[in-house]
């Protein structure tokens, strides 16, 4: 079986699909990961065939303001960003079809896509092959168990309204529908009802939705259809990239104070320099040493005390097991890595699903209340770090959760389901 995987988003939206491709290859299948060009090394460096696609809306993250404008600017900033995005998807759609029809993904028997790439189910429809939606978060399938994770809702929202909040997933069809329809017209595809819903096959039947999340973190909602599954996290084999020798020394040294990781991944915006100084001061107040990862610019390299090591990106699987706590933005991938390491979290969300993960970590007893970026201060962050590194109940809960997650093999479960889907659709 040949599987073409199409994904768009930040590192946390790509890394799980590398793991999926690795497991497919171990089973003797051929797997190709189509992803934004900036992740070529991430994919090929872990022994997976790569097909490049335009970065699309990721170009917004190359500036200092886009994410920060949304996190700090309210509805007006969100609407301004939405107006800019449809044009960015035209090249992504074209690249997806090129990869699938004439590029490394040609002759695929199955399309796996993350929804954000928009093109997945349409490419599969044109090729006449099945498509499976695969997600690192429970975004698409409505449930009464919790509100839509794509937006933070007020705490007073009654549970009876949870399912209604998933109307938020209609936004992509509203924003990109005309762009997608023009592209579909070029492929000779009909404007059939339900064409923009990745949970439906062209014949109207349910498409599989695989959720790369541990049931210990998000139990499968009982009101989900049978087509929606929770497989467990998908973790890739360790990266072959070298590790900064200074980082190795920083995490090896047993200093008198606990070591804490701080990183905000691909998030940018606000004042990264002021944020970095705030983090360094909060670590000092909390009585902790730190490893700071600048990522895509949420933090900056600055002259710092000897007990704070500042670097670029770090291998989570190497660093997280060696720290006392993980301070992060609440991205799905970083959250998963910290959960697997069995460490307490301090979640400082920017946008999107990040508040959902921050709240979920608090509910599981492995993190204090999340601190939204506009509310981030030295006293608030220091207090949260101090609790994360010293609260015995929180430390124990994180360790026990990590044990449960490490005992799972989510990626094997996912490939079992994909093999069954391909067999059923023959």
CA 151 to chain centre: 15
* φ and ψ of 208, to 5 deg: -65, 145
Backbone angles phi, psi at 259, to 5 degrees: -95, 130
Helix H or strand E encompassing 88? helix 66-101
What local confidence, expressed as pLDDT, does residue 265 receive? 80
Check residue 202 and give its pLDDT. Answer: 96
Which residues make Cβ contacts (< 8 Å) with residue 256, sequence separation at least 6? none
| CA dist 368 → 198, 278, 382, 400 (Å) | 35, 19, 12, 17
Torsions phi, psi for 324 (to 5 deg): -85, -25
What's 200's DSSP letter?
B
CA 322, CA 159: separation in Å to the nearest integer? 39
SS (H, E, C) 347-358: ECCCCCCHHHHH
Return the pLDDT at 70: 46
**pLDDT at residue 186 in the model:** 97
Q: Are strands 308-311 and 228-230 parallel, antiparallel or unpaired?
A: unpaired
In whole angstroms, what is the distance from residue 200 CA to residue 172 CA?
15
What local confidence, expressed as pLDDT, does residue 149 receive? 94
Tell me if 95 sits within 8 A of 53, measured CB to CB.
yes
Please give the CATH superfamily to which domain 245-406 belongs.
Glycogen Phosphorylase B; (3.40.50.2000)
Interstrand relation of 289-293 and 259-263 (parallel, antiparallel or unpaired): parallel
Q: How far is CA 225 from the centre of its chain?
A: 23
Angstrom distance (rounded) from CA 32 to CA 3: 6
Flag residues of the chain having pLDDT under 50.
Answer: 65-72
Tokens representing 103 are 């590029």
Sequence-ordered alpha helix ranges (H) in 206-271:
245-252
Tell me which residue of 32, 35, 77, 79 sits closest to 58, measured CA to CA: 35
What are the residue boundaries of the structural domains of the chain, listed by start?
2-233+408-424, 245-406
CATH topology of domain 2-233+408-424: Rossmann fold (3.40.50)
134 touches 415 (CB < 8 A):
no
Are 2-233+408-424 and 245-406 in the same CATH fold? yes
Name all contacts of 198-201 with Cβ < 8 Å and 24+ positions apart.
198/113, 198/115, 198/120, 198/121, 198/131, 198/133, 198/140, 199/133, 199/140, 199/141, 199/227, 201/121, 201/130, 201/131
CA atoms within a 13 Å half-sphere pointing along the CA-CB vector of 202: 17
């Amino acid at each position: 079986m040949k599987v073409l995987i199409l994904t768009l988003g930040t590192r946390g939206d790509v890394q799980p699909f590398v793991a999926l491709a690795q497991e497919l290859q171990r089973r003797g299948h051929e797997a190709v990961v189509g992803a934004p060009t900036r992740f070529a090394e991430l994919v090929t460096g872990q022994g997976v065939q790569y097909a490049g696609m335009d970065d699309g809306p990721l170009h917004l993250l190359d500036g200092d303001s886009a994410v920060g404008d949304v996190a700090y600017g309210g509805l007006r900033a969100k609407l301004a960003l939405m107006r800019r995005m449809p044009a960015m998807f035209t090249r992504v759609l074209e690249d997806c079809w090129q990869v699938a029809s004439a590029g490394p993904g040609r002759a695929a028997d199955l399309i796996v896509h993350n929804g954000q790439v928009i093109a997945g189910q349409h490419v599969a429809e044109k090729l006449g092959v099945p498509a499976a939606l695969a997600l690192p978060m429970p975004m698409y399938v409505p449930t009464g168990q919790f509100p839509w994770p794509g937006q933070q809702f007020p705490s007073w929202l009654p549970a009876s309204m949870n399912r209604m909040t998933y109307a938020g997933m209609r936004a992509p069809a509203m924003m990109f529908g005309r762009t997608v329809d023009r592209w579909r017209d070029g492929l000779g595809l009909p404007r059939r009802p339900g064409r923009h819903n990745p949970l439906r096959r062209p014949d109207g039947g349910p498409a599989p939705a695989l959720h790369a999340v541990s049931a210990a973190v998000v139990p499968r909602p009982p009101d989900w259809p049978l087509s929606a599954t929770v497989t467990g996290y998908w973790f890739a084999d360790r990266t072959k990239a070298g590790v900064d020798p200074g980082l190795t020394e920083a995490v090896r040294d047993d200093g008198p104070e606990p070591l804490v990781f701080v990183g905000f991944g691909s998030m940018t915006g606000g004042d990264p320099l002021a944020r970095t100084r705030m983090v360094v001061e909060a670590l000092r107040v909390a009585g902790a040493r730190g490893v700071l990862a600048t990522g895509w610019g949420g933090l900056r390299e600055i002259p710092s005390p000897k007990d704070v090591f500042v670097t670029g990106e770090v291998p989570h699987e190497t660093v997280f097991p060696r720290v006392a706590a993980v301070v992060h933005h609440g991205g799905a991938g970083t959250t998963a890595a910290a959960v697997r390491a069995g460490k307490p979290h301090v979640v400082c969300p920017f946008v999107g699903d990040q508040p959902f993960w921050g709240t979920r970590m608090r509910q599981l007893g492995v993190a204090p209340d999340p601190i939204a970026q506009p509310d981030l201060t030295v006293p608030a962050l220091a207090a949260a770090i101090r609790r994360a590194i010293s609260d015995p109940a929180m430390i124990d809960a994180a360790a026990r959760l990590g044990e449960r997650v490490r005992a799972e093999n989510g990626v094997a479960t996912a490939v079992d389901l994909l093999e069954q889907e391909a067999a059923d659709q023959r």
